[in-house]
Amino acid sequence: MPGAAPSLTLTSHRPRLPVVVGIAVGSIAAVTLLIYPLREVAPTASLAIVYLLAVLVVATLGGRTLGISTAVAAALAFNFFHVEPTGTFTIADGENWVALAVFVVTAIAIGTLADVARSRTLDAEQRRREADLAADLSRLLLGATDVEAALPAAATQLASAIGVPSATLVLHAAQGDAHHVAFALDVGPERRPATLLLPQRTDPGAPERIRARLVPGLEAILRAALDRQALEREVVETRALRRSDELKTAILRAVSHDLRSPLTSIITSADALASPAVLDDERDELVAAIGADARRLTRLVDQLLDLSRLQAGAAEPRPDWVSIPELLTVALQSIDARDGEFRLSADAETPLVQADAGQLERAFANLLENARQHSGGHEVSLRARAVGSRLVVRIVDRGPGIPAPELERIFEAFYRRENSGSGGAGLGLAVARGFIEANGGRVFAESLPGQGTAFVVELPLEAAP
């Protein structure tokens, strides 16, 4: 909407009075001169109609009063210069009296009609600009994700439309002062009133026109925008609650199954130990089974606790200088790795990294446990070496591999591949990624179906003391 457009709050904008008077005088003089050659081809009494052009122009530009004044002046000019006897305002012939009277009445009627047509045109143009302004504000406010953030742009657009230097829109009650007029905006019964602040104007009727023509539409747009924003927030909250319920259901399903299996085994083994008929060899097997299931439960509980800390943002690392080969060795011990299951190799001068040793040890233990479960009984290779500004650890198994669409999903909490053959809860990889990323690194999987999987961990290197 161009800034040079007439003010939205003004009912009409006419040229200045001296300009219109000059146009009236000039047009009457021009028509008076034009009638002289026309008298050779038409009766003088009928040529008065040419003055109607001047009356029409002046009435359109200056309004009804100036149009009537021009009509009277044109009648006097026609009488003085073209009605016998010329040079005086005396009229000798009765027909000329009638013609002049008809001309005056016609000129006044045309001036009045021109003024009415102009007023209606201006009113239609004003309403069109009001509709354009409402459409622009609707697009701006109704399309904004944050209504309050869009208010400065809406105020700028509004100020340009109504022809004031500036405007301010705020979503709270505000008072006017010596330089600003405040217009309270009703944006709903359950909300505080918004406020439109405009500069003081010299026109005393401007505030009332703004209140009558502009404020109601602005109130409706703001009310609709705020209602839409509230509905969007409710939808987002509803979706979050639904997803939270789905996540809780998934957790309960996964955890209940993974907790029940080792608990059932422990209870069964404990009941069997109480029997006097159990032999020593069987007793040793039952004790070993109880120990294995208890460790399995411990790992699951630890993973649940780790995941909850990560999701709550409470897993703040405590970095220190650590050796990754040593951490890998500790992680292998924590999962009771046996000979032939893993092969670790590292450069002789593997640099230290700044990280939380406990978090990385848990992350590597989860990655190693996952690789052992899917290696198909083959040896898993571990390799740690510095590559540029990063320390790269590759954990490679010789299992069935992972399809490309699932390479990212396997890091989601509680995600378990179909027919994977593992009995885990789907937490290990999610916890591993959370701890590694918390320490400034990243982890991803590379795999080709049937050719095994490589889990790659990259950690940033810093100059060690």
* Alpha carbon 56 to its chain's center: 53
- Which residues is 320 bridged to in the sheet? 355
Q: What is the pLDDT of residue 98?
A: 65
Measure the CA–CA gap between 291 and 311, rounded to whole angstroms.
30
Q: What is the pLDDT of residue 326?
A: 92
365: helix, coil or strand?
Answer: helix
Could you give the dihedral angle defined by the CA atoms of residues 420, 425, 429 and 431, in that order, rounded to the nearest 10 degrees?
Answer: 180
Q: Which residues of 162-185 are buried (b: 16+ CB within 10 A; e: fewer)?
A: bebeebbbbbeebeeeeebbbbeb
Domains 246-311 and 320-460 are alike in CATH topology: no
Q: What is the pLDDT of residue 186?
A: 85
User: DSSP secondary structure string, 139-151?
Assistant: HHHHT-SSHHHHH
Into which CATH architecture does domain 320-460 fall?
A: 2-Layer Sandwich (3.30)
Q: What is the pLDDT of residue 3?
A: 38
Residue 364 in contact with residue 412, Cβ under 8 Å? Answer: no
Phi and psi angles of residue 344, each rounded to the nearest 5 degrees, phi first: -105, 130
Q: For tokens 């992972």, name the residue.
A: 402
pLDDT by residue for the chain (465 residues), tens only, comes to 343 334 444 334 557 778 878 888 888 888 888 888 887 777 776 777 787 777 777 777 777 777 778 878 887 887 788 777 777 767 656 555 666 666 667 767 776 777 777 778 777 777 777 777 778 888 888 888 888 888 888 888 888 877 788 888 888 888 888 788 888 888 888 777 888 888 886 566 677 877 887 888 888 888 888 888 888 888 888 887 787 677 667 666 666 656 677 788 888 888 888 878 777 788 888 888 888 778 777 777 776 777 676 666 767 888 889 999 999 999 998 888 888 899 999 887 889 999 988 888 888 988 998 888 888 888 999 999 998 889 999 999 988 888 888 888 888 877 776 655 555 566 788 888 888 998 999 999 998 777 889 999 999 988 665
Residue 372 in contact with residue 335, Cβ under 8 Å? Answer: yes
Measure the CA–CA gap between 349 and 385, rounded to whole angstroms.
9
456: helix, coil or strand?
Answer: strand
pTM: 0.46
**Domain ranges (residues) in the chain:** 17-128, 147-228, 246-311, 320-460
Name the token pair of 383: 């390799």
The DSSP H or E segment spanning 18 is helix 17-38
Phi and psi angles of residue 67, each rounded to the nearest 5 degrees, phi first: -65, -45
Measure the CA–CA gap between 42 and 72, rounded to whole angstroms.
23
Domain boundaries 246-311, corresponding CATH code: 1.10.287.130
Measure the CA–CA gap between 86 and 69, rounded to whole angstroms.
22
Measure the CA–CA gap between 291 and 307, rounded to whole angstroms.
24
Q: What is the pLDDT of residue 250?
A: 63
- C-alpha distances in angstroms, 30 versus 23, 25, 76? 10, 9, 15
| Largest pairwise CA distance in the chain | 152
